[in-house]
Structure formats: C-alpha cells, structure tokens
Amino acid sequence: MSAISRQLNKLMNADSSIRTLYGVASFLLPLLIWCLVSYTPFIWHPKVLITDVGGVDYFQVGMLVDKEMFASEMANMSVALQPLPAGTPANPIYLPAPHEVAQALYNGFANPPKQADTPSMPASIWHSIQIIFWGFLISSVIGVPLGIISGTYNRVGRLNEPFIEFFRYLPAPAFGALAVAVLGIYDGPKIAIIVIGTLFQQVLIIANTTRKLETTIIEAAKTLGTRNFRLLTRVVVPGILPDLYRDQRILLGWAWTYLIVAELIGTSTGITWFITQQARYQHFDNVYAGIMVIGIIGFGTDLLLAKLGKRLFPWDRTQDKS
C-alpha cells in the first residue's frame, strides 16, 4: 500500500515539474510566434519604412507606406528618371515588436509620460486597482454572507435566487448611464459597474458551494450539540472556506474583465484612460504595455492567492488535484 503511494508520489512530483515546464512553454510559444512575425521580414511585413524619400514629394523619412504603393512609386521614379526612394520592410504600426513593448513597459514605470495630457502608467494602474478593490469589496461584503445564508437556509435562497438569476442576465455596462446619473462621473459609477457585474454571480456561486457541503458533517455537528447560528459560524463557514476562497479567486478575475467597461463610464480613468490616450497618439507599444500590465497584475494576484490558499487551508484536498 505504502509502496504504491510512494510510487504515486514520485509520479506526481515528476508530473509537477513537467507541468511547470508546460506552463512556461505555454507562454513562450505565443512569444515565439510574435518574435517570428516581428523580426523575420519575409513572414509578414506588409509595409515599407521610408529611409530615403528619393524623388517622391509626399514621402517622408520614417513614414510607413504600403508595399504596393512603394513599388509603384519606385516604378514611377525610374520611368521619370528621378532618384529612387529607399526603405525597409516593416510591420504595421499597430504591431510593435516585443523589444519595443518591453522598452515601453520599462519606460512607463521609469520615466514620466511625454505628453502633458497623458497619465503616467503607475498612477493609472494604481487607480484601476483601487476601483477593483472597492468594487470587489462592496460586492463581497453583500454577496458572501447572502450566498452563504441562501445556501444554508432554503427559504432565504428561494426568496432571492429567482430574482438574482434574472438580474445576472442584465449586462452590467447597460447600467452605465444610470450609474452616472445617480453616482456622478467620477469613481462611483465605475465601482457600481464592477459591483453589478460581480455581485449577482457571487451570490449564486457561493450559495451553490454552500449547498455542496456534506450533510453528514452538518448532522454530526447537530448530534454534538450545535444549534442555529453556531451551526453557521462553526460548521458551515469553516466547512466551505477553501471552496469559498476558490470561488472568490474566480470572481475577482471576473471583476477585472468588467474594469475596462467600467472605466469608460463618466470621465475615463485608470489604465483604460492610459490605453486610450496612448492609442490616440499611436503609441501602440504603450498600448500593449498597458494591456500587459492588466494581465500581469490579474494573473499575478491569482497565483499569489493560490499559494496563500495552500498555506491557509492545509486540510484542503482538492488543491492537490489542481
């Protein structure tokens, strides 16, 4: 028996290092494709970056023109016996190379923005994090207790869940205009959209998690003299805690997906404002950097929370499977 489990453990360990390898590869693969498209001119590069205008009067150094247009101007110039323009194959402006995005990412944090009316990257992301934090906090303060109570007491569940089922189909952004009318144009409506987007799912998901708690555990607690409210605080809550924590991690991810829409409501702020401003100035390297920061923060917090969960719930067996 123990020999088998040791064998299994060995397999699992080997399995976990292989899994890490696959995990890294899953990031390297898209990066590799991006590098290939960016650095090997023969793969795509539909544009030409002008290095010498030659005789073409509307060309400028640093201008991006279509390959076909460049070819036809070359033909025109050689027929007209004018100096020939020169250029190198390039990708469209909306696809910067990896090193440019990396540079932009570094610049964003190291240097203040070039234009006076564009926000700095750290300030923008900090503002976004605050919106997420308050939105998720408000949603959780209502949603977690309501979910647990709905899952524990069937009558409460039956009373609110049908309405919540209905409400969760209403797209949160649809409440944007209303939120602005009620809460003004600053952070209020943005937080409200995150709350609306998260809360209703939260109640249903947590109620469901609560219902899945083993009935034997509750019955055992009853035979040990647990009653009423203490059944909730001493048995139901600790019993579902690891699953509740997992639910919250997933819901936090959802909150992030509502962020961009939320930040467009009223006066645009946060990372969304940063991204839209940079796109307006055609600084697409900064746009990519901004998008990536969202990904890095979202994914990073989830990894951290997963690690923390293992510490917090040493008895939780489902973690071993993930």
Partner 1 sequence: MKPAHSTRPGYLEQSPAVKARFDKIKQREVILEVRNLGKRFVTAQGEVDALRDINFSIHRRELVCVIGPSGCGKSTLIRILAGLENHTSGVALLDGKPIDGPGQDRGMVFQGYSLFPWLTVKKNVMFGPEMKGHGWEQAEREANLWLELVGLSKFSDAYPHQLSGGMRQRVAIARALVNEPRILLMDEPFGALDAQTRAKMQSHLMEIWRNIDVTILFITHDLDEAIYLADRILVLKPNPGEVHELIEVPVPRPRSPAQFSSPEFLATKARLEELIHPAAKAEKNEAEEEQNGTPHLIRFTNVNDNVE
Helix/strand/coil for 266? coil
**Minimum distance between the CB of residue 205 and partner 1, rounded to whole angstroms?**
20
**Residue among 222, 237, 212, 205 nearest 318 (CA):** 212
Contact yes or no for 252/244 (Cβ under 8 A) = no
Q: Which is nearer to partner 1, 12 or 69 (CB)?
A: 12
Binding site for partner 1 (CB under 8 A): 214, 216-217, 219-226, 230, 234-235, 238-239, 241, 313-317
Contact yes or no for 73/85 (Cβ under 8 A) = yes
Q: Which is nearer to partner 1, 230 or 307 (CB)?
A: 230
Q: Which is nearer to partner 1, 17 or 215 (CB)?
A: 215
Contact yes or no for 208/150 (Cβ under 8 A) = no
Q: Which residue has the tokens 């890490």?
A: 20
Q: Which is nearer to partner 1, 73 or 243 (CB)?
A: 243
**Minimum distance between the CB of residue 159 and partner 1, rounded to whole angstroms?**
23
Q: Which is nearer to partner 1, 80 or 224 (CB)?
A: 224
d(CA 165, CA 188): 25
Length of the chain: 322
**Minimum distance between the CB of residue 40 and partner 1, rounded to whole angstroms?**
53
Q: Which is nearer to partner 1, 64 or 241 (CB)?
A: 241
**Minimum distance between the CB of residue 316 and partner 1, rounded to whole angstroms?**
8
**Minimum distance between the CB of residue 220 and partner 1, rounded to whole angstroms?**
4
Beta strand 64-66 with 47-52 is antiparallel
**Minimum distance between the CB of residue 211 and partner 1, rounded to whole angstroms?**
17
d(CA 260, CA 271): 8
**Residue among 118, 47, 152 nearest 271 (CA):** 118
Q: Which is nearer to partner 1, 62 or 314 (CB)?
A: 314
**Minimum distance between the CB of residue 216 and partner 1, rounded to whole angstroms?**
4
Q: DSSP states of 13-65 as a string? A: HHHHHHHHHHHHHHHHHHHHHHHHHHH-TTTS--EEEEEE-TT-TT--TT-EE
